[in-house]
Amino acid sequence: MNDIHNRRIVTGVALLALLVSERALAAGMEPMNHGAMPMDHGQMNHGAMPMDHSQMNHGAAPPNQPRTPLPLITDADRRAAFPPLPGHQVHDRATNWAVIVDQLEYQNFESSSAVNWNATAWVGGDIDRLWLRSEGEREQGKTHKAELQALWGHAISPWWELVGGVRQDFKPASGQAWAAFGIQGTPLYGLELEATAYAGERQQTALRLEAGYAMLLTNRWVLEPTVEANFFGRNDPGREQGSGLAESEVGLRLRYEITRAFAPYVGVSFNRLHGNRADQAREDGEDIGQTRWVAGVRLRF
């Protein structure tokens, strides 16, 4: 019993002595300079350290504010930034022109030959234009028919135009002056129509109907059938005019457009006289129907 008690006393004294010695050692030790300790952080594996960022309170960074507050935009600022602009230049009132020689050809038929022409020119804008039309025929070195029309055209739709003006016949006989009024247009692509009424001297009246359709066979080859009919109100044998349907012409021409401005062609034309005009031709010993082979050139300027 006494031995156990003595052992406890010795153990307590030893522990007390050890505690006193550690405190004395800590009090006498100089502070350590950890900054002077060399340490290679590159050898540390930070990725292996578990860290729960959800428990950290990072806090939102305060927004960047301008040092000088921006002034509010006023109506004066908007007007200065977006001033009224003038309209840009357009070409809606441009003046254009064109000269188109649809037919300039040599015609060969049974009893003779002839040179025929049919040309149109215009100048103006999209709404109003001045039109000039001319057509005629020279046979055996003499002018057999020749006329010139000056017409003012006014568009009534994108495809139709009213025309009015004058027509002057130079041949046959001594010629004749007419007042002219009509309509012309292109209701379909490649289809051209003309209908013109005339009022002339001695209460003579006339009507001319024309149609032509340009069919593109290829980018260069164009086949064009044409039809023309002339009507008169009264007989006038001296000017080769008979009442009713007097003359008709049906043609078919094939052209090759070397350029859009130059296109040679060949074709055939069927000319016929009708009614009172045919009777006049029989009395004069003339043919009332002819088949003419033609070769010519179409020009555009």
High-pLDDT (> 70) share of the chain, % = 77
> Which tokens go with 297?
């050139």
Q: What is the pLDDT of residue 167?
A: 98
Q: What is the pLDDT of residue 215?
A: 97
276 closest CA partner among 233, 241, 248, 250: 241
Q: Is residue 68 part of a domain?
A: no
CATH of the domain at 217: 2.40.160.40
Q: What is the pLDDT of residue 263?
A: 98
Q: Is residue 265 part of a domain?
A: yes
pLDDT (tens digit, 9 = 90+) per residue, 225-246? 999 999 999 999 999 999 999 9
Q: Is residue 76 part of a domain?
A: no
Q: What is the pLDDT of residue 71?
A: 84
Question: What is the rounded distance in angstroms from the CA atom of residue 40 to the CA atom of residue 242?
Answer: 123
Q: What is the pLDDT of residue 85?
A: 80
204, 232 contact by CB (below 8 A):
yes
Question: What is the rounded distance in angstroms from the CA atom of residue 251 to the CA atom of residue 74?
Answer: 74
Number of domains comprising the chain: 1
Q: Is residue 160 part of a domain?
A: yes
Q: What is the pTM of this model?
A: 0.70
Q: What is the pLDDT of residue 255?
A: 98
Q: What is the pLDDT of residue 25?
A: 47
Q: Is residue 208 part of a domain?
A: yes
- Counting as low any pLDDT under 50, the low residues of the chain are 24-26, 29, 34, 36
Q: Which domain holds residue 244?
A: 96-300
Q: Tell me the HSE value of 72 on the side-chain side, using a 13 A CA sphere.
A: 2
What is the phi-psi region of residue 152: left when phi exceeds 0, alpha when psi lies from -120 to 50, beta otherwise? beta
Q: Is residue 23 part of a domain?
A: no
Q: Is residue 250 part of a domain?
A: yes
